[in-house]
Each structure stands twice: as C-alpha cells, then as structure tokens.
Amino acid sequence: MSKVPYEVYTEEVKALSVLSPDGEIINKDKLPKLTDDQLKEIMYRMVFTRTWDDRAVNLGRQGRLGFYAPVSGQEATMIGSEYALQKEDFIAPGYRDIPQIVWHGLPLYQAFLYSRGHQHGGQVPDGVNVLMPQIIIGAQILHAMGIAMGYKLKKQKQVAITYTGDGGSSEGDFYEGLNYAGVYKLPVIFFVQNNGYAITTPFAKQTAALSIAHKAVAAGIKGVKIDGMDVLAVIKAVQDAAERGRNGEGATLIEAVTYRFRPHSLSDDASKYRSKEEEGEWNAKDPIARFAKYLEKKGLWTEEDTARVKEEAKAKVNEEIKKAEKTEKMTISGLIDSMFESTPKHLEEQKADFK
C-alpha cells in the first residue's frame, strides 16, 4: 500500500473556478458541456430563487412563515448542484437546502408548509426523490449514506447527495458518514457549502485543517474544493462526482467556498460578527451577476430577461403561499393518524381524550 506524503496535509488546495468574476472562461478544460437552452434554464432558476428568497424573508417577518434560512449568495451551489443530477438521484438536505428539493420536484407550497410546521409539508409526492430538510445538524449525512448503500446493494446506477455547511463538518455524523462511504465505496456526494460561518462561528475556529476537502484523505475518498460562487464550476464538480458514483468508484467530498449575503436565519444579526468590508468583497463575487455577464457576452441573456423572471417568481411565490395558507389546519388526531398505518389502541384513547 502506497504511503501518502505528509505534505498533502500542509499544502493549501486552490478552489477550482471555470468563470472569472467578469464572466470570462478561465478554465476551458473544466467547462461543462451544456446547450444554450440549458445555460438559460440555469440562469432562470438562479434569478427565480433569489427573488423567491427575497419574498420568503418578508413572509417570515410578516409571520406567514415559520423558521426560514436565507439562501441569497448561495444560488450557484444550490442550483448548480441539483441541475447536475438526474431526477432518479436522491437528495438529503439540511434546513437551508430548500431550493434543491423544490427544483428536484417538491411543490413550492409544500416547502412553505414545512416552514410553517405543517405535516403535509413533509409528505413528499411519489416519484420525488428527496427527504425533508433535516434540522439536526449533520444527521442528513448518515441518511444519504444509507440511501447510497441501498443503491449499491441493488446495483442501481443512482447517486445520493447530501448538503451541510462548514459547521456541519464539525459534527460526528460527518466523519462517520465519510468513513463508512469510503469503506464501502458508496455512490454518495457529500457537498459542503462553506459559507464562512457556522451561525456566528468563523471557519477559522471550526477546524485546524486548511480546507474541508482535505478531510477526504482520511476517509479514503476523493476530495474537491471549488469556487462556490461559480455555477459552472459547481456543475462540473457534481457531474464528475456523480459519474464516479455511478461507475462504482465511490464517494466524493466537495467543498464549495461560498457566502450567504443575508444572516444565518431571520433571528440572526450578521452585523455583530461580519464586517462591511468583508460583505463588500463577497458581493463583488455575486454568482448571479457573474453568470449573467457570461451569458450576456454569448447573447443569451439580457436585463429584460432578469426583470421578466423576477415578475414570474413574485407571482408564483404569491400563488404558492396562498395555497399553503388555505391548506386545512392540522389537528392532533390527524397528526397521530398520519404516523401509523393502523393507529395503536393507546393512541386511539389519547385521541378520544383530546376530543
């Protein structure tokens, strides 16, 4: 067995970029093969998601949503990674990863119901391969690993992908998932959105490792570090990881270096731990602006297109939140019945007490 030199742990890994902040191709060898229509669809989804996020933040402040974790700034990691998958692949998300499961097939109004704590928000339609967002930090990593083991045992050419942030990479579930996937060469992608902070804790206080991607070495799996503000780099990394999984080559850990423009959640005040200078530096790397420049140079996108998508998104969000608000309210009896095919006697007695 060959020995890995110690230097691999001390050499910093540069994040892969395909697009420059000015929208120029700087790594042609890593450019994913996409048609013009596909490029426009990716841009559509990114603009739609940013607009939806704007509206969701306002809905949360109005009390029309429950817990909500803003996503603006992370559209490249979310939209790009989901777009690189096949519909048969499975997504195990964290609580911020609502866009991925909606674009994978979960109706938007159900995502709103999930935020409102309604049980129907978790009743995933048949044929939509997603789990509901996991609120326990890192627990979804083990779920994805189990799904991937099922695919391997059944010899299915599908992959599972799971998401967490840099904070989630400090959880025990993270290391257990990587280790198990490495031992059994599972078709799973561990996608870490390193947005610099685990709520208020900066990345420098999360780990002594130079990168999260380095941690793949100990698990015996492939580790990749990418520019998470570059949607083309994200798509290429996930396409490659999915191909490796389908071909029986095992798991991949992807660290996407990104930034959340808004606070961690609606109860957070990011100004207490982030400087204006830092925010300004990352705003200049806006993934939507970067991709728009690229498409504009190719004659595929205009400011009018952006305005049109924003209006469509606003109308759709308004329609879906109204649908969520009109959904029949939960009852204790209904909640109990939804947990069992045949309700146990002692719970039938509790239902009677509630009535």
Token pair belonging to 203: 């990345």
- 346 part of the active site: no
Which of 84, 128, 338, 88 is CA-nearest to residue 234? 84
Amino acid, res. 48: F
Residue 308 CB partners (closer than 8 Å, separation 6+): none
- 260 part of the active site: yes
Which of 323, 253, 293, 328 is CA-nearest to residue 111? 323
Give the number of other Cβ atoms within 10 Å of residue 280's Cβ.
9
Give the up-direction half-sphere exposure of residue 171: CA atoms within 13 A in the CB hemisphere. Answer: 18
- The secondary structure element, H or E, covering residue 253 is strand 252-257
Give the number of other Cβ atoms within 10 Å of residue 112's Cβ.
26
Residue 195 CB partners (closer than 8 Å, separation 6+): 73, 74, 165, 166, 228, 258, 259, 260
Distances (CA, A) of 218 to 45, 254, 273: 36, 15, 32
| Catalytic residue from among 264, 274, 290, 294 | 264
| Catalytic residue from among 120, 175, 184, 273 | 273
Which of 53, 104, 125 is CA-nearest to residue 238? 104
- 273 part of the active site: yes
CA 182 to chain CA centroid, Å, is 22
Distances (CA, A) of 160 to 125, 174, 221, 231, 235: 18, 15, 15, 20, 15
Give the number of other Cβ atoms within 10 Å of residue 208's Cβ.
6
| Catalytic residue from among 45, 104, 260, 290 | 260
Q: Which sequence positions are flagged as catalytic?
A: 260, 264, 273
